[in-house]
Amino acid sequence: MSTWFAETFPNVVYQGWGGDTGWGTAIFQTLFMTFWSAIFGGLLGLIFGVGLVVTGPKGITPNKTLFWILDKIVSIFRAVPFVILLAFIAPFTKALVGTQIGINAALVPLSLGVFPFYARQIQVALSEVDSGIVEAAQAVGASFSQIVFGVYIKEGRSEIIRVSTVTLISLIGLTAMAGAIGAGGIGNMAVAYGYNRFANDTTLFATLIVLVMVLIVQVTGDWLARKYNHK
């Protein structure tokens, strides 16, 4: 088996597992960027998504001005291609983390790149919560936080898990472009050490690793969504 692998993926074997250009390092970089960007971008997206629902025309606290502001911020960030976003917010990135390149610098554009997509997904997910349950909660005097967490989040958790799964998979894809600012990762391995050097086995192996990551996220997300689906 090891002989077959060495013959089929010679450049992959040459890259090795450790070191700055090893596969172990690349996998860690991708997981690091995906995890922290999901945390920061996810929280931001959740806040905006909930804000869009509760301040919307059918929300529990309708506010045309605030809804318009939130909606336009999300729309503007969604309209900017990620590669352009990388360059556009470079000064902000440097001011925030002290550098424009590297894995830590990539967290800023990744978080800002994924949050508008997630915000829209959350908006749709929470909008599907039965309005009758929301009205019942209001009728018994439930507070704003009780309605948000006890009704919207609780009743929509299955769909929230589903959209979170889709967002996480999209984020894994975005990390591939983060290599443009020296963040490394599997995507950078596929392009810099595979495509640019005509090492097709490296590109193929990187693709397989990404597919495995996506499959794990998808299977886990589907399982959790079914587990918390009370319909």
Give residue-wise pLDDT tens across range 45-75.
999 999 999 999 888 999 999 999 999 999 9
Query: What is the predicted pLDDT for the residue at 181?
Result: 73
Higher pLDDT, 121 or 4: 121
Cα–Cα distance for residue pair 220/182, rounded to 1 Å:
30
pLDDT tens-digit series, residues 146-164:
999 999 998 899 999 999 9
Q: Is the pLDDT of residue 231 over 60?
A: no
Q: Is the pLDDT of residue 1 over 70?
A: no
Say whether domain 18-227 belongs to CATH 3.30.1360.120. no
**Six token digits for residue 101:** 């390149």
Q: Give the residue from 50, 39, 52 showing the smallest Cα distance to 154.
A: 50
pLDDT tens-digit series, residues 103-157:
888 999 999 999 999 999 999 999 988 888 888 988 888 888 999 999 999 889 9
Cα–Cα distance for residue pair 96/105, rounded to 1 Å:
9
Q: Residue ranges of the domains in the chain?
A: 18-227
Cα–Cα distance for residue pair 59/48, rounded to 1 Å:
14
Cα–Cα distance for residue pair 68/60, rounded to 1 Å:
16
**Which amino acid, residue 167?**
T
Cα–Cα distance for residue pair 159/224, rounded to 1 Å:
10
* Residue recorded with tokens 């992959």: 12
**Six token digits for residue 188:** 């950078």
pLDDT tens-digit series, residues 171-228:
998 888 887 677 888 988 888 888 888 889 999 999 999 999 999 999 999 999 988 8
What confidence tier does 230 reach under pLDDT thresholds 50, 70, 90?
low
- Mean residue pLDDT across the chain: 89
**Six token digits for residue 22:** 């090893």
CA distances from 43 to 36, 37, 38, 184 (A): 11, 10, 8, 24
Higher pLDDT, 90 or 182: 90
Contact 142, 50 (CB under 8 A): no
Q: Read off φ and ψ for residue 73, nearest 5 degrees.
A: -60, -45
Contact 24, 17 (CB under 8 A): yes
Q: Give the residue from 211, 230, 197, 158 showing the smallest Cα distance to 30.
A: 211
pLDDT tens-digit series, residues 33-45:
999 999 999 999 9
Query: What is the predicted pLDDT for the residue at 180?
Result: 67
